């Protein structure tokens, strides 16, 4: 961290304005990440011993897995994304966070919504739609919280001093706009006034693709394009190419996601095939921008936030390259129901997005709080744990997927790959514990500091002028 | 791209297009879908599931069955095969011809021409349509799943991962009510090496009363409760089994033609 940034009065005003909202967002998010990974790992224990959780409905595999996945996506990924987004918008605007109390309220409402939703899944009240499992009570709270957060973000954006927009702006503003649309559409057409028949499945695929692939990519790449030039110490290479990548990405990627061979009219999967193949264009352009920006840079990353960005972006490329074949008719039909497709989702959520966003949090929180991380070494440890965990998880699931298909879906022999996946989740869980420990100890230190300052004010001897003689 | 408005405009167009394509279009095209005619029959498809099976779908959802099971079968395509049903008046000529003809794995035109050659010699033939592909070869069903199969279901639980076999046609494949209940209580009792977790929480282990319950499961010794106790399915388990038995994809339709081995029986959940 650059010492000058801490002292700069304008910067410190921004930091102070972001402090409480970001702590509220990240604190809950870190907890949800730990809970989510723990649940997913416990669920995968079913493959070691099928009978171990069978006496209680709430512990059944389908509920634990859904609750864990949603805790990771809605509990961790989205609030952290919103926090980082608020901070980047405030920094780019060079102005304090507007209406700072609103995101504090929103963060609490959001985490309450996630709690309600996860409790509902455990009680068996999931909607049954993948990645949209939260029933009405939870989703209404999430939507309200998001809109509040959006008000603060837009107000901060509107108050910016420099009118020109940065590449990070494009991605983050698009993301800001994306979520309410897809989330309301999905809830209206699937939960409130459900459409008839298999149209439900199409809308659910559209929603999950737009949330997991498009939304997470927009926020993740926005963050990368904000931080990487800073780390590299040079502007983003070839801004027009980045713009081209951005526009083609949002035009194309939203059409992916309909599985091949699905029981729907053939034009749906055909549209997704076309989009998947065209996706290579934005992915390569964005990759070129990134590579040209970081190539030959002398900055050492040493497992710090810069490493997170580089690893995360690589993971995005892998995730996109894993997604493209799923859209091809031949391979897609063979692979879509195997663990390969799961490997792709985890690559996107845990590999690309979580890494990038954790890197951003590790970079920005010391500035925001004006103090260093309590456990500096954990930053590097988490990086290695995530890298190892992901490699084990994704490679074992991907190979398991191929094996499943080649072996004619022999479920007994394929279980070995799920056993490896448990190990991957375990490493990720350890990494997330380090993340949570850092955030919670930092919060605690900050609160102790506040309390000390408060006590000091009370105990301070009165000024001479105030003492009556 | 120097104004926020333009970003929103581009995003609006991009998302709006796919929203029109993948939300509004399916809501119109699939949301207004009607029952369809069964091929070579006066029946319409699908029938509403029986009440208990409809409630069983909710148990299926609550239990998260779709986390491991899909209910969508796929096929690569269809082949035709020519079945000779009669040798006619010149059996020697027909059998000579048959030895030189390939009768399976044909395209529609080839099958027609083979059939024409045989009938020209006086034989009688039928052309059968046979779907091909991994799911069909595994015996999971007789045709691919089509949108009509899910017309009355809410929520439609297609599933995305196969940690266990596909269930789209499980009611035809494993059509015994008691087998389904036994399998839910102890999968390893019916399928050795099954990786499916048991769903014991859908059952009650109770003391045998004056008269043993007629619903009690007939368990193999290693899965049986202690003597004096019996395992009785709860209503949830009964509904789930009824739903599983109501899962059929064995009716030939215009979208997914095939030649049924026997006329499809009306689907009823047996109790």
The ipTM (two decimal places) reads 0.92
> With a CB-CB cutoff of 8 Å, which residues 199-258 of chain B face chain A?
199-202
Helices (H) and strands (E) in chain B — how many of each? 10, 6
Is the Cβ of A112 closer than 8 Å to some Cβ of chain B?
A: no
Q: Which helix (H) or strand (E) holds A176?
A: helix A167-187
How far does CA A127 lie from the centroid of its chain?
A: 22
pLDDT score recorded for residue A380: 93
Domain boundaries, chain A: 1-164
- Residue pair B34/A187 in contact (Cβ under 8 Å)? The answer is no
Contacts of A418 in chain B (CB under 8 A): 163
Is the Cβ of A455 closer than 8 Å to some Cβ of chain B?
A: no
Of residues B40 and A39, which shows the higher confidence score?
A: A39
- Is there a contact between B30 and A157 if contact means CB atoms under 8 Å apart? no
CA distance A215 to A232: 25
**What angle in degrees, to the nearest 10, is found between the helix axes of A199-208 and A167-187?**
160
Could you tell me which residues come within 8 angstroms of residue B71 by beta carbon, excluding any fewer than 6 positions away? B145, B157, B158, B159, B166, B167, B168, B247
Of A163, A263, A415, the CB nearest to B145: A263
Contacts of A334 in chain B (CB under 8 A): 134
- A202, A205, A225, A255: which to substitute to probe chain B, counting the most B Cβ within 10 Å? A202
pLDDT digits (tens, 9 = 90+) for B99-141: 888 888 889 899 999 999 999 888 888 899 999 988 999 999 9
Structure pTM? Answer: 0.94
- A64, A69, A263, A275: which to substitute to probe chain B, counting the most B Cβ within 10 Å? A263
> With a CB-CB cutoff of 8 Å, which residues 125-164 of chain B face chain A?
134, 138, 144-164
Could you tell me which residues come within 8 angstroms of residue A112 by beta carbon, excluding any fewer than 6 positions away? A141
pLDDT score recorded for residue A300: 79
- A47, A128, A193, A330: which to substitute to probe chain B, counting the most B Cβ within 10 Å? A128
- Is there a contact between B201 and A409 if contact means CB atoms under 8 Å apart? no
Contacts of A50 in chain B (CB under 8 A): 187-188, 194-198
- Residue pair A148/A180 in contact (Cβ under 8 Å)? The answer is no
pLDDT digits (tens, 9 = 90+) for A239-264: 999 999 999 999 999 999 999 989 99
> With a CB-CB cutoff of 8 Å, which residues 134-173 of chain A face chain B?
157, 163-165, 169-170, 173
> With a CB-CB cutoff of 8 Å, which residues 6-65 of chain B face chain A?
7-8, 10-15, 17-19, 21-23, 26-27, 29-33, 61-65
Give the CATH number of domain B77-132.
Answer: 3.30.1390
Which residues pair with residue A145 across a beta bridge? none
CA distance A224 to A164: 19
Give the CATH number of domain A1-164.
Answer: 1.20.120
Of A164, A247, A334, the CB nearest to B10: A247
**Residue of chain B whose alpha carbon sits nearest to that of A180:** B15
Structure tokens at B200: 């014991």
Interface A–B counts its CB contacts (< 8 A) at 225
- Is there a contact between A203 and B26 if contact means CB atoms under 8 Å apart? yes
Contacts of A127 in chain B (CB under 8 A): 155
CA distance A395 to A315: 13
How far does CA B164 lie from the centroid of its chain?
A: 14
How far does the CA of residue A411 sit from the closest CA of chain B (Å)? 6
CA distance A349 to A36: 12
- Topology annotation, domain B36-73+163-245: Cytochrome Bc1 Complex; Chain D, domain 2 (1.10.760)
pLDDT digits (tens, 9 = 90+) for A302-316: 888 999 999 999 999
Q: Is A43 exposed, middle or buried (0-12, 13-18, 19+ CB in 10 A)?
A: buried
pLDDT score recorded for residue B52: 95
Contacts of A61 in chain B (CB under 8 A): 64, 67-68, 197
- Is there a contact between A62 and B64 if contact means CB atoms under 8 Å apart? yes
- Residue pair A145/A107 in contact (Cβ under 8 Å)? The answer is yes
Of A61, A127, A265, the CB nearest to B68: A61
Of A333, A341, A405, the CB nearest to B74: A333
Q: Which helix (H) or strand (E) holds A363?
A: helix A354-369
The pLDDT confidence band at residue A9, using thresholds 50, 70 and 90, is: low
**Residue of chain A whose alpha carbon sits nearest to that of B151:** A197
Whole-number average pLDDT of chain A: 92
The pLDDT confidence band at residue A402, using thresholds 50, 70 and 90, is: confident
pLDDT digits (tens, 9 = 90+) for B70-94: 999 999 889 999 988 888 888 888 8
Q: Which helix (H) or strand (E) holds A392?
A: helix A376-406
- Residue pair B76/B171 in contact (Cβ under 8 Å)? The answer is no
Flag the least confident range among A209-223, A287-301, A351-365, B193-207: A287-301
Q: Which helix (H) or strand (E) holds A328?
A: none
- Is there a contact between B154 and A170 if contact means CB atoms under 8 Å apart? no
- Tell which residue, A18, A172, A158, has the closest CA to residue A97: A18
- Tell which residue, B72, B136, B225, has the closest CA to residue A337: B72
CA distances from B164 to A136, A410, B69, B137, B186 (A): 30, 9, 6, 16, 15
pLDDT score recorded for residue A7: 46
- Is there a contact between A163 and B2 if contact means CB atoms under 8 Å apart? yes
- Is there a contact between A263 and B65 if contact means CB atoms under 8 Å apart? no
CA distance A224 to A193: 38
Domain boundaries, chain B: 36-73+163-245, 77-132
Of A63, A205, A257, the CB nearest to B64: A63
pLDDT digits (tens, 9 = 90+) for B154-173: 999 999 999 999 999 999 99
Of A50, A61, A255, the CB nearest to B18: A255
Of A61, A197, A271, the CB nearest to B33: A197
pLDDT score recorded for residue A468: 66
């Amino acid at each position: 961290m650059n010492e000058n940034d801490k002292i700069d009065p304008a910067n410190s005003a921004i930091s102070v304005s972001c402090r409480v909202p970001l702590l509220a967002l990240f604190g809950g998010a870190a907890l949800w990440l730990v809970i989510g990974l723990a649940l997913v790992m416990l669920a995968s224990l079913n493959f070691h011993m099928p009978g171990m959780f069978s006496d209680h409905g709430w512990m059944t595999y389908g509920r634990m897995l859904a609750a864990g996945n949603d805790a990771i996506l809605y509990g961790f990924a989205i609030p952290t994304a919103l926090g980082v987004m608020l901070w980047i918008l405030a920094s780019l605007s060079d102005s304090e966070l507007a209406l700072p109390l609103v995101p504090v309220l929103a963060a609490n409402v959001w985490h309450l919504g996630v709690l309600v939703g996860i409790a509902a899944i455990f009680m068996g009240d999931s909607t049954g739609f993948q990645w949209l499992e939260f029933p009405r009570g939870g989703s209404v709270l999430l939507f309200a919280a998001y809109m509040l957060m959006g008000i603060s973000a837009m107000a901060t954006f509107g108050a910016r001093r420099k009118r020109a927009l940065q590449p990070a702006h494009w991605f983050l503003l698009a993301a800001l706009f994306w979520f309410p649309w897809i989330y309301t559409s999905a809830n209206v057409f699937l939960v409130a006034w459900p459409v008839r028949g298999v149209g439900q499945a199409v809308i659910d695929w559209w929603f999950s693709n737009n949330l997991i692939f498009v939304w997470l990519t927009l926020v993740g790449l926005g963050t990368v394009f904000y931080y990487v030039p800073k780390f590299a110490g040079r502007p983003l290479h070839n801004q027009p190419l980045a713009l081209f990548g951005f526009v083609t990405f949002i035009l194309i990627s939203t059409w992916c996601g309909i599985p091949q061979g699905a029981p729907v009219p053939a034009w749906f999967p055909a549209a997704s095939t076309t989009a998947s193949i065209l996706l290579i264009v934005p992915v390569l352009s964005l990759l070129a921008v990134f590579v040209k920006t970081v190539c030959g840079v002398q900055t050492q990353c040493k497992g710090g936030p810069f490493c997170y960005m580089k690893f995360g972006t690589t993971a995005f490329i892998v995730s996109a390259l894993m997604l493209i074949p799923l859209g091809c008719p031949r391979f897609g039909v063979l692979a879509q129901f195997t663990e390969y497709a799961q490997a792709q989702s985890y690559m996107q959520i845990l590999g690309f997005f979580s890494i990038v966003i954790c890197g951003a949090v590790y970079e920005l929180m010391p500035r925001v709080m004006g103090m260093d991380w309590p456990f500096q070494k954990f930053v590097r440890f988490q990086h290695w744990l995530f890298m190892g965990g992901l490699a084990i998880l994704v490679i074992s699931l991907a190979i398991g997927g191929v094996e499943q298909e080649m072996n004619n879906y022999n479920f007994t022999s394929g279980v070995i790959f799920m056993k490896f996946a448990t190990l991957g989740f375990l490493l990720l869980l350890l990494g997330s514990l380090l993340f949570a420990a850092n955030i919670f100890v930092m919060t605690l230190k900050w609160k102790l500091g506040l309390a000390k300052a408060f006590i000091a004010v009370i105990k301070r001897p009165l000024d001479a002028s105030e003492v009556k003689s | 791209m120097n104004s926020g408005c333009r970003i929103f405009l581009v995003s609006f167009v991009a998302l709006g297009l796919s929203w029109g394509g993948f939300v509004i279009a399916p809501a119109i095209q699939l949301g207004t879908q009607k029952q369809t005619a069964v091929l070579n029959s006066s029946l319409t498809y699908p029938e509403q599931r029986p009440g208990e099976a409809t409630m069983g779908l909710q148990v299926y959802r609550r239990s998260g069955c779709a986390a491991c099971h899909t209910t969508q079968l796929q096929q690569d395509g269809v082949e035709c095969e020519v079945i000779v049903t009669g040798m006619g008046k010149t059996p020697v000529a027909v059998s000579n011809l048959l030895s030189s003809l390939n009768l399976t794995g044909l395209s529609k035109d080839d099958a027609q021409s083979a059939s024409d050659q045989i009938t020209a010699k006086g034989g009688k033939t039928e052309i059968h349509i046979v779907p091909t592909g991994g799911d069909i070869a595994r015996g999971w069903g007789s045709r691919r799943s089509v949108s009509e199969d899910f017309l009355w279901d809410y929520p439609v639980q297609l599933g995305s991962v196969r940690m266990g076999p596909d269930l789209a046609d499980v009611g035809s494949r494993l059509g015994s009510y008691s087998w389904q209940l036994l399998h839910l209580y102890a999968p390893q009792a019916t399928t050795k090496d099954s990786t499916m977790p048991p769903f014991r929480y859908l059952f009650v282990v109770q003391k045998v009363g004056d008269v043993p319950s007629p619903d009690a499961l007939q368990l193999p010794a290693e899965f049986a409760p202690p003597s004096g106790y019996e395992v009785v399915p709860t209503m949830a388990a009964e509904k789930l089994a009824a739903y599983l038995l109501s899962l059929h994809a064995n009716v030939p339709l215009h979208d997914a033609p095939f030649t049924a081995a026997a006329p499809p029986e009306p689907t009823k959940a047996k109790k």
